Amino acid sequence: MTERERLLLDAAAATRDRGESYGDPQTHFARTVGAINAVFAHKLREPLTPADWGIIMVLDKCAREQNSHKRDNMTDIAGYAACVEEIEMLSPKDANCSAWSREMRDVG
């Protein structure tokens, strides 16, 4: 097994473990963005979606990785990417899709 495959298996295990602890990504991320949208409503042009939150967490892990390499960052990036994909596939058309995803669809 390659290191790449091990990392993806670790990410799958982490998302499964987190799901057991915190619930599915759609519900957990919706709770998070609900609180953020309430606190920052006066600053946001439009409310964040659960998928937006997953992308924000990928960016956070990228920022941490810029400080110094940690395998956990790569594992979490893969896990958050999988969560965003799950949210995007389960959501009604555009209802919970990230702004980034909507823009990419418009370009393509």
Are the C-beta atoms of residues 78 and 7 closer than 8 Å to each other?
Answer: yes
Spatial separation of the C-alpha atoms in residues 88 and 69, rounded to whole Å: 29
Q: Which of 50, 61, 48 minimizes the C-alpha distance to 89?
A: 50
pTM for the model = 0.80
Structure-token pair, residue 40: 């920052």
Q: What tens digit of pLDDT does each residue of 34-79 get?
A: 999 999 999 999 999 999 999 999 999 999 999 999 999 999 999 9
Long-range contacts of the stretch 67-71 (C-beta < 8 A, 24+): 71/7
